Amino acid sequence: MYLETFTLPIEKEEALIEARMRENDSGYGYIDNIYPCGIFDRKQLREIGFARVTVLYGGNGSGKSTLLNLIAAKLGLHRAAPFNGSELFETYAESCRFTCGTDEEGSPERIPNGSRIITSDDVFDYMLAVRSNNEEIAETVERGKAEYARIKFGENVVLRGMEDYDALRLQVQARRKTLSRRMFLREHAGTEVKLSSNGETALEYFEEKLQNDTLYCLDEPENSMSPKTQLKFAELLEKMARYCGCQLIIATHSPFLLAMSGARIYDLDASPVAIKNWWELENTRIYYKFFEKHRHLFEE
pLDDT at 172 over 70: no
The b/e string for 3-20 (b: 16+ C-beta within 10 A; e otherwise) is bbebebbeeeebeebbee
Find out whether 48 and 266 touch, Cβ atoms under 8 Å: yes
Tell me: the pLDDT tens digits for 133-143? 555 555 554 55
**CATH code of the domain made up of 3-121+212-299:** 3.40.50
pLDDT band of residue 120 (cuts 50, 70, 90) is confident
Give me the percent of the chain exceeding a pLDDT of 90.
Answer: 47
Q: What angle do CA 234, 251, 81 make, to 5 degrees?
A: 105
Percent composition of the chain: helix, strand, coil (DSSP 3-state, to 5):
50, 15, 35
Q: How many residues does the chain have?
A: 300
Domain boundaries, the chain: 3-121+212-299, 124-189
What does the mean pLDDT of the chain come to? 80
192-247 per-position pLDDT tens digit = 455 556 788 889 889 989 999 999 999 999 988 999 999 999 999 999 999 999 99
> Which strands sit side by side in the sheet containing 247-251, from one edge to the other?
116-119, 215-219, 247-251, 53-57, 264-267, 274-276
